[in-house]
Amino acid sequence: MKNMGVLIAVIMIVVMMVIPLPTFLLDILLLFNLSLSIMILLITMNTREPLDFSIFPSLLLLTTLFRLSLNVSSTRLILTNGKAGNVIETFGNFVVGGNTVVGFVVFLILVIIQFIVITKGSERVAEVAARFTLDAMPGKQMSIDADLNTGMINDQEARLRRRKVEQEADFYGSMDGASKFVKGDAIASIIILMINIIGGFIIGMTMHGMDLTQAINTFTLLSVGDGLVSQIPALLISTATGIIVTRAASDGNLGDDVTKQLLSYPSLLYIVAGCIALLGIVTPIGIFLTWGIGGLLAFAAYSIQHKQTTQEAAEENTQSEQELEEVRKPENVFALLREDPIEFEFGIGLIALADVNQGGDLLDRVVAIRRQIALDLGLVVPVVRIRDNIQLHHNEYVIKIKGNEVAKGEILLDHFMMLNPGDEEHGIDGIETVDPTFGLPALWITEEKKDEAEMFGYTVIDPASIISTHLSETIRKHAHEILGREETSQLINHVKETHPSLMEELIPNVLSVGDIQKVLQKLLKENVSIRNLSTIFEALADYSVYTKNPDILTEYVRQALARQLTSQFVRNGVVHAIQVGAGIEKKLAESIQRTEHGDILTIDPESSNQLILTFTQKIEQMAQLGIRPIILTSSGIRMYVRQLVERSLADVPILSYNELEPNVEVQSVGVVNL
């Protein structure tokens, strides 16, 4: 019904230009036009930001069209009957005192104010605002993406902010064009006034038998009254246009902002009061008038200052009481138990790395790390809390996972790290150290020796890159600890958007969020990406009807990810593998003890140590040849081999034959047997 009402109103505005209106209906519509313009002005004054009144450009067009249709109707009545209703006659006689010259001058002044001052300024402001808003769009979009990547906002908030940016661009672009309506309306009003006066002279003298003086008085007053009754609403609308395009986003309306900001410096009112009082002494204006106004201003300044002082004291007391009450609340103890998922703390000597004003780009690097890990592992890393810690050494930093220290290092901010000097005679002096990420021997060298080290072929790393690499590798190593139930639920909801049927079948009817979390954690612990969640959940849906054991489910998922694992560990279609012999597989299979809590490997310590030593020797031999092999075994025994060697060889990939694509060439670099 509301939509139909608006459509009918627009159609009736057009019809009014063609069908004559009776004078009483014209009076009603003129008063309605005045009321509508007042309401629009008040709304623009009370909006906090322009988008709160986003229909204003369209409304500006409709009100201009409505006002022009009233001009057409009133012109028809003036030229036809020599009368145009009580409203126009009242404006022509009462408002301008029945004086045609005064009325004409007042009308021209209103038109000049609207056309030259308000409309021209509004048009320019709208044009500049539209241009700046469009130019700022890419920067705003990048800011939203940065906040989303750092975890400051979620996807829904990002979509809302992007939508707001688009709406701002559309609004200011529309206002740039809509301001032309007001300008055209002012020009049309002058033309209509001249048509009414000239046409009225001719019609009054030829058709109504009036003499020249009577025709001039009658039609000039009616024309001026008609012009005033249309120009006053037009002036209100143009003022509203100026307000809406110059309005900055604020927490209050225009009245609140004006009183708050204009009177925020009451001491300046004393200066104003003194200037006004001085005018009474040095000019003939008079002491009575100037000192009276100066006294009022001085009293206002005193009142505002006293009110501000009282309000500040009350706010301080209220804040102190609130803080005291907050401390007394027993539930506030729980805030002390809250831990950040990932923390990066550094000594005061490394503040420059995180301070943007000093050229530090650590925050940007953390954003890049979160994006890269999301691409590589499919894990959405929580916000990394970065802060200084005066308890650390000057150049020391610490990485914590859920409040526990997992890595640390020390950086010389004005040096570079030269890796892999070995025992060669390179002739480069430096401070001996160890790479905090990979434990390689290194040297701290000065910037002057950087080029020389690079000429010898050594890897030279700046301090910021050392920290970002260490942080990235630490997060990857502990990715399975970072993935909790809450993060798992977010991943599930992400897949549910594209695969609703799959998720309805799997959760919660077959597996719980905790079951899925355990499987994903086991994959991440072995550096297997969980980005292909749809394939992972398909495998879980297929095999969870047979078993709920997360270890066995993980093996099924790994086999479903065979193509991914092949591309991850195989290079150029070839994989170098240390194969597990049949004797070991048989012994491990016989050492499996099945309990109600799962399968346990109960191999004797001597055999276990011998196997680990053999694997270690083989891997070290291959490392000397520049080969990074994998351990290859049968699918039924793979997870037990992993349990056996994961403490000593956590970084060595262990795959089963079912996890490799058939077209892969396996080059055996050794077989481990008892």
What pLDDT score does 454 carry? Answer: 82
Helix count (H) and strand count (E) of the chain? 25, 14
Q: Contact at 8 Å (CB) between 640 and 601?
A: yes
Q: Contact at 8 Å (CB) between 502 and 541?
A: yes
What pLDDT score does 163 carry? Answer: 78
Confidence of residue 520 (pLDDT cuts 50, 70, 90): very high
What pLDDT score does 473 carry? Answer: 92
More confident residue, 222 or 475: 475
Confidence of residue 332 (pLDDT cuts 50, 70, 90): low
More confident residue, 167 or 3: 167
More confident residue, 346 or 209: 346
The SS3 call for residue 633 is strand
Confidence of residue 249 (pLDDT cuts 50, 70, 90): very low
- Cβ-Cβ contacts under 8 Å for 37 (sequence gap 6 or more): 63, 232, 233, 234, 236, 237, 240
What single-letter DSSP state applies at residue 457? T
Residue 172 pLDDT > 90, yes or no? no
- For the stretch 366-412, pLDDT in tens is 888 989 998 889 888 888 888 888 888 888 999 999 888 899 999 88
More confident residue, 120 or 75: 75
DSSP collapsed to 3 states, 553-619:
HHHHHHHHCHHHHHHHHCECCEEEEEEECHHHHHHHHHCEEEECCEEEECCCHHHHHHHHHHHHHHH
Pairing of strands 384-388, 342-346: parallel
pTM, rounded to two decimals: 0.54
What pLDDT score does 398 carry? Answer: 93
- For the stretch 90-120, pLDDT in tens is 766 665 565 666 666 776 776 676 666 666 6
Residue 172, classified by CB atoms within 10 Å of its CB into exposed (0-12), middle (13-18) or buried (19+), is: buried
What pLDDT score does 620 carry? Answer: 83
State how far the Cα of 37 lies from the Cα of 62, in Å rounded to an integer: 12
Choose the weakest-confidence range: 153-157, 480-484, 594-598. 594-598
Give the mean model confidence (pLDDT) for residues 565-588: 83
What pLDDT score does 82 carry? Answer: 66
Residue 515 pLDDT > 60, yes or no? yes
Query: What own/partner pairs with CB < 8 Å and gap ≥ 24 does 560-566 have?
Result: 560/535, 560/536, 561/528, 561/532, 561/535, 561/536, 561/659, 562/658, 562/659, 562/660, 562/661, 563/661, 564/528, 564/529, 564/532, 565/528, 565/655, 565/659, 565/660, 566/659, 566/660, 566/661, 566/664
What pLDDT score does 474 carry? Answer: 92
The SS3 call for residue 433 is strand
What pLDDT score does 324 carry? Answer: 60
Residue 67 pLDDT > 90, yes or no? no
More confident residue, 261 or 572: 572
Give the mean model confidence (pLDDT) for residues 273-297: 75
Max mean pLDDT among 349-363, 531-545, 629-643, 646-660 falls in 531-545
More confident residue, 299 or 144: 299
Q: Contact at 8 Å (CB) between 93 and 83?
A: no
Q: Contact at 8 Å (CB) between 353 and 360?
A: yes
State how far the Cα of 253 lies from the Cα of 119, in Å rounded to an integer: 22
CA atoms 652, 656, 662, 668: torsion sign: positive
Give the mean model confidence (pLDDT) for residues 544-573: 87
What pLDDT score does 33 carry? Answer: 78
- For the stretch 403-452, pLDDT in tens is 888 999 998 888 899 886 555 566 778 888 888 888 888 888 888 888 88
What pLDDT score does 159 carry? Answer: 80
Q: Which residue has the tokens 């011998």?
A: 610
What pLDDT score does 590 carry? Answer: 78
Structure tokens at 270: 């004393």
- For the stretch 177-211, pLDDT in tens is 666 666 666 667 667 767 666 666 666 666 666 66
Q: Which residue has the tokens 């040849």?
A: 625
Q: Contact at 8 Å (CB) between 314 and 321?
A: no
Give the mean model confidence (pLDDT) for residues 10-29: 74
- The dihedral formed by the CA atoms of 400, 401, 407 and 412, expressed in degrees to the nearest 10: -40
Say what percent of the chain tops pLDDT 70: 71
What pLDDT score does 660 carry? Answer: 86
Say what percent of the chain tops pLDDT 90: 5
**Average pLDDT over the chain, rounded to an integer:** 77
What pLDDT score does 100 carry? Answer: 64
Confidence of residue 255 (pLDDT cuts 50, 70, 90): low
CA-wise closest residue to 126 among 281, 249, 241: 241
Give the mean model confidence (pLDDT) for residues 453-481: 88
Give the mean model confidence (pLDDT) for residues 283-288: 71
What single-letter DSSP state applies at residue 384? E
Max mean pLDDT among 76-80, 115-119, 269-273, 657-661 falls in 657-661
